[in-house]
Amino acid sequence: MFDVVVVGGGPAGSYTAYQLAKSGLTVLVLEDHKTIGKPRFCTGVISKEAFNRFDLPKESIQREIKEARFYSPLGSILNISRDKTQAYVVNRTVFDQGIAHKAMDEGASYLLSTICDDIDIRDDHVRVKIETQGERFIFKAYICVLAAGTNYRFHEKLGIGRPVNFLDCAQAELLAKDFCSMEIYLGTEIAPESFAWAVPVSSDLVRVGLSTTKRDSSYLLRRLLEKDIIRTRIDKIDKKDIQIKRKVIPYGIIKKSYSDRLVVVGDSASQTKPTTGGGIFNGLICSSIAAETIISAFEKGRFGHKGLRIYESRWRREIGHDIRMGFYVRKIFKQFADQHIESLLRLCNINEIHAILKKFADFDRHSYFLVEFMKQPIFWKYLFFKTSGLRYLSTHEGL
Ligand SMILES: Cc1cc2nc3c(=O)[nH]c(=O)nc-3n(C[C@H](O)[C@H](O)[C@H](O)COP(=O)(O)OP(=O)(O)OC[C@H]3O[C@@H](n4cnc5c(N)ncnc54)[C@H](O)[C@@H]3O)c2cc1C
């Protein structure tokens, strides 16, 4: 019998396993792929703060990010640059493997090519049914950590609810030149209700991707790759050779992230940022809280939902506000026509707003800037005139 079985060897599962094993608990991690971190469909942008706060594999860092450029469909560009590094672009395979190795070094066991088939919570233990190389086994543990990413097959049975909101994402890694900063492309035709991005990985490699709540993301991405802003900078390759990978990102809080002998972390608990869809930093925060809660449950011998409830209240206290705020921002953004996006970027280029942006824009906590933004009278004027934003802004001094 193990102390804890973790289902899923992504960053959330492995970081929880790392901390639990470090505290002396016996931990088994189940991962359905034969290699940790492969395949991975991710842009790999992780804040510098995440690297400062958590024990993360620095060898996964491919590039530093100091600047972001936002492109309106009607021509305006907003440039936010800082002197210091704000985030890193990482190789997700190396990143995921680095965390898993830390967990293994602390004594966690990993079973790869192993599918968790069922999670059965009993009064005095959890039974986890697995299938590996055509054989079936049952493992027992005191607690199960569900960190299975976007596989929600167990959620209903376990009574924890599934996420209801998803972003459909597509991404391609391409040989390219002249991509120096992170670029964000906005517009109802480009990425309906969301955004597209180009993130340079090295001097000749870029990750171009797109998220949307509306239509087929891979079709939209192919269309974006045809646009001058991308086409002229990527190496000429046959269209059919471009490998587009597609995946969903959940957003919005799920009903419950714990139960008797069960804790849910990462994308499994929909702990992503609704604004960008980034989930690694939040997943790591919640993994740490999950591990602390489980360690305390072992100390007290309390494995029921009452003993694990603190997990949910703690992570909601830390990131719940930002998730809720991001959710509403996305709701408002959904209503934006291209004109509104244009006027918003022009608003952000006004000196006083741009200064606030530079000072308060935080890579992980978007509510900091939003709160400061909302304190500005010009923001309310903008909101009031939203339907005729361009007309208002074009009459504003300095535009
Ligand atoms: C296109 C795209 C770009 C992204 N870019 C960024 C970014 O730049 N920055 C950022 O912070 N986030 C980004 N994200 C989100 C980020 O990838 C996720 O939030 C993150 O991977 C979640 O980590 P996790 O450990 O919760 O889940 P995952 O990384 O999905 O890991 C879960 C693991 O569990 C395994 N598993 C599932 N079911 C079972 C089972 N039954 N048995 C055994 N194993 C199982 C899976 O195979 C997987 O390996 C992006 C997502 C997409 C789709």
Give the residue-averaged pLDDT of 80-95.
Answer: 93
Q: Which atom of ligand 1 is nearest to the CA of 268?
A: 26
Q: What is the CA radius of gyration of the chain?
A: 22
Report the pLDDT value the prediction gives residue 398, as an integer from 0 to 100. 35
Ligand 1 neighbour 326 (Cβ under 6 A): no
**Which residue's alpha carbon is at the smallest distance from atom 4 of ligand 1?**
42
**Calpha distance 125→223 (Å, rounded):** 52
Ligand 1 neighbour 9 (Cβ under 6 A): yes
- pTM exceeding 0.85: yes
Give the residue-averaged pLDDT of 57-65.
Answer: 97
Report the pLDDT value the prediction gives residue 256, as an integer from 0 to 100. 94
Report the pLDDT value the prediction gives residue 390, as an integer from 0 to 100. 46
Ligand 1 neighbour 247 (Cβ under 6 A): yes
Q: In angstroms, what is the span from residue 216 Cα to ligand 1's centroid?
A: 20
Ligand 1 neighbour 80 (Cβ under 6 A): no
Q: Is CATH 3.30.499.10 the right assignment for the domain spanning 166-249?
A: no
pLDDT exceeds 60 at position 397: no
Q: In angstroms, what is the span from residue 149 Cα to ligand 1's centroid?
A: 5
> What's the first-to-final CA gap in the chain, in angstroms?
68
pLDDT exceeds 70 at position 7: yes
**Which residue's alpha carbon is at the smallest distance from atom 14 of ligand 1?**
278
Ligand 1 neighbour 17 (Cβ under 6 A): no
**Which residue's alpha carbon is at the smallest distance from atom 38 of ligand 1?**
148
Ligand 1 neighbour 283 (Cβ under 6 A): yes
- Can you read off the two tokens belonging to residue 341? 């996006």
Q: In angstroms, what is the span from residue 28 Cα to ligand 1's centroid?
A: 19
Question: What is the average pLDDT score of the chain?
Answer: 91
Q: Using N-to-C axis directions, what is the helix angle for 11-22 and 92-105, rounded to 10°?
A: 20
Report the pLDDT value the prediction gives residue 384, as an integer from 0 to 100. 59
Quick one: pLDDT band at residue 112, thresholds 50, 70, 90?
A: very high
Ligand 1 neighbour 144 (Cβ under 6 A): no
Tens-digit pLDDT profile for residues 327-375: 988 888 888 899 999 988 988 898 777 887 777 777 777 776 777 777 7
**Substitution site in 118, 151, 272 for ligand 1 pocket (most atoms within 8 Å of beta carbon):** 151
Domain spans in the chain, listed from the N-terminal domain onward: 2-44+91-164+252-327, 166-249, 336-395
In percent, how much of the chain has pLDDT > 90?
A: 71
- Can you read off the two tokens belonging to residue 65? 């990010």
Q: In angstroms, what is the span from residue 277 Cα to ligand 1's centroid?
A: 11
Quick one: pLDDT band at residue 185, thresholds 50, 70, 90?
A: very high
Topology of domain 2-44+91-164+252-327, per CATH?
Answer: FAD/NAD(P)-binding domain (3.50.50)
Higher per-residue pLDDT: 31 or 333: 31
**Which residue's alpha carbon is at the smallest distance from atom 22 of ligand 1?**
267
Return the residue matching tokens 């990482």: 90
Give the residue-averaged pLDDT of 227-236.
Answer: 87
Report the pLDDT value the prediction gives residue 385, as an integer from 0 to 100. 59
Asked, as a colleague might, if the bond just before 250 is cis with ω within 30 of 0, I would say no
Report the pLDDT value the prediction gives residue 358, as an integer from 0 to 100. 76
**Calpha distance 315→336 (Å, rounded):** 31
Give the residue-averaged pLDDT of 146-154.
Answer: 97
- The single-letter code of the amino acid at 292 is E
**Calpha distance 116→104 (Å, rounded):** 20
**Which residue's alpha carbon is at the smallest distance from atom 29 of ligand 1?**
10
**Substitution site in 14, 32, 131, 257 for ligand 1 pocket (most atoms within 8 Å of beta carbon):** 32
Residues pairing with 143 in the sheet:
4
